[in-house]
Chains A and B, each alone.
Chain A
Amino acid sequence: MLELRLVQGNLLKKVLEAVKDLVTDANFDCSSTGFSLQAMDSSHVALVALLLRSEGFEHYRCDRNVSMGMNLNNMAKMLKCAGNDDIVTIKADDGSDTVTFMFESPNQDKIADFEMKLMDIDSEHLGIPEAEYHAIVRMPSSEFARICKDLSSIGDTVVISVTKEGVKFSTRGDIGNANVVCRQNTTVDKPEESTTIEMHEPVSLTFALRYMNSFTKATPLSSTVTISLSSELPVVVEYKIAEMGYIRFYLAPKIED
């Protein structure tokens, strides 16, 4: 028996919007730790890791570890039927081949049940080693989204370079090239508007902008984004989900042939 009650049901809606274009089918794992997902895109270039900790749910019952295979587009379709203020409960019986999403309006005057078929998904779980990153950039998520969108109108790849001057996002294409430099800025009034750069070593890596743009669909989940870079390692683009956990996107770099 599994029953997870999330008062902020719209968090789940936002999570699905953030991952459904990157990953088609995925296993959601449920354990005493929380509700999690790890999945790669079909070309194995990007990986998404989601954790919603059990403490973040108003009610969290998970009698045994379960893995539920879901088509993310279908799940997104069902969650779109929940109101933004609705409380969402995820329910599944042991051994069942369906999952139920229950939506309750805040004043309890409307209750809806949406039952979705589960699927068997053969996915390999990857071990993500702890790494010391050469540079960690924290910036407003909307600013990062804007930069990725702007650069993708010029080129297909972005070079992210961190030096003591700041973080530079560069691209080049047929029509020309573009560079955006963001400097550390902690003097703004609101911490969510600041940019901080923690650099242990200068680092410069090249990535496909198509994936970066896909990651920015998680922008509504968090006002800030953290970009962790190390030479010859996948970049980690992390959006913290307040009180609950995180969504992390890993993207393999383009490397010298």
Chain B
Amino acid sequence: VRKQSQITAFFSPG
């Protein structure tokens, strides 16, 4: 099963 990841898991605020 694949789940959808979020952009915020890869790019952090800044």
Contact = CB atoms under 8 A, between A and B. Distances in A.
* Binding site secondary structure of chain B: mixed
Contact of A255 (B5, B8, B13, B14): B5
B7 A125 contact: no
Interface in B1-14: 1-14
A64 to B, nearest CB: 22
Contacts of A46: 7
A45 B4 contact: yes
Contacts of A255: 2-3, 5
Interface stretch (A11-19, A50-58, A126-134, A195-203): A126-134
B7 to A, nearest CB: 5
A254 B9 CA distance: 12
Nearest to A232: B10
B13 to A, nearest CB: 5
For A126, A233, A250, A257, which residue has the most chain B Cβ atoms within 10 angstroms?
A: A126
